[in-house]
Amino acid sequence: MSDSRAIGIFDSGLGGLTVAKEIIKVLPKEDIIYFGDTGRVPYGTKGADTIKRYALEDEKFLLSKDVKLIVAACGTVSSVAFEESKNLPVPFIEVISHSVKSAVKATFNKKIGILATSATIKSGAHKKQILSFLPDAEVYEVSGTLLVPLVEEGYTSKDNPLVKNAVENYVSVFKENNVDTVILGCTHFPILTEAFKEALGENVTLINMGVSASNAVKDTLARLNLLNKQGGNHKFFVSDKGTTFKNTASVLLGEEIDDSSVETVDITAL
């Protein structure tokens, strides 16, 4: 049995393209419809009610495209608006629980770091789930909100002074407390992996939410007999294309994005 409907992915901006990238790697024959709410980014600094409303609007848009599964490729939505998303008429995958399971499996000394947006940290979602698996774990939470605009503006090199200083500042608490596993709790952060490795050292395991989520998507589609056997087309929608979209999106996705595959939509008019 095969299902040719697309996988729907959404994020507050373009960071979720790092999740799309990992899904494409493990499911190259799946069609992808991606929506980035670039006109209202970032979600991480907004209140819970606003984040929930935005998430429902994003999901409504993807459902209008007849997707077979929705991925919230956004740590903020996954932590704040998860309960509301449980009622969707299609399977829903968030990025927090799967990354937590990966971190719990990876840690040796039970000292785990969370680097995420302020809204995600405030929700306590990662810490609560980690402690449910490892009650004696030490969890260190850091809000790395400044890293989001750096990535969005194309500052991604580990040698860039802005990136280097910001990363070293944010991970200092992890180093001071001998953390051996760090969850990159925002989809923008994997782009800065080399900077994190340099700042933390090779002995610290970095958890990429996109990798964890992509495996969950594959398992879910296989279990429900929804895999596509002959697709592979990718369509991108944004709420504001902006002037740097193509360059930033191509960096995050890891491949060139054709302008013809990108469409701007008014998400609030649906």
Catalytic residues: 74, 186
Confirm if 90 and 69 have CB atoms less than 8 A apart: yes
| d(C-alpha 187, C-alpha 63), whole Å | 22
90: left (phi over 0), alpha (psi -120 to 50) or beta: beta
Q: What is the dihedral of CA 250, 252, 253, 256, to 10 degrees?
A: 10
Residue with tokens 């799309």: 20
3-state SS track over the chain:
CCCCCCEEEEECCCCCHHHHHHHHHHCCCCCEEEEECCCCCCCCCCCHHHHHHHHHHHHHHHHHCCCCEEEECCHHHHHHCHHHHCCCCCCEEECHHHHHHHHHHHCCCCEEEEEECHHHHHHCHHHHHHHHHCCCCEEEEEECCCHHHHHHCCCCCCCCHHHHHHHHHHHHHHHHCCCCEEEECCCCHHHHHHHHHHHHCCCCEEEEHHHHHHHHHHHHHHHCCCCCCCCCCEEEEECCCCCCHHHHHHHHHCCCCCHHHEEECCHHHC
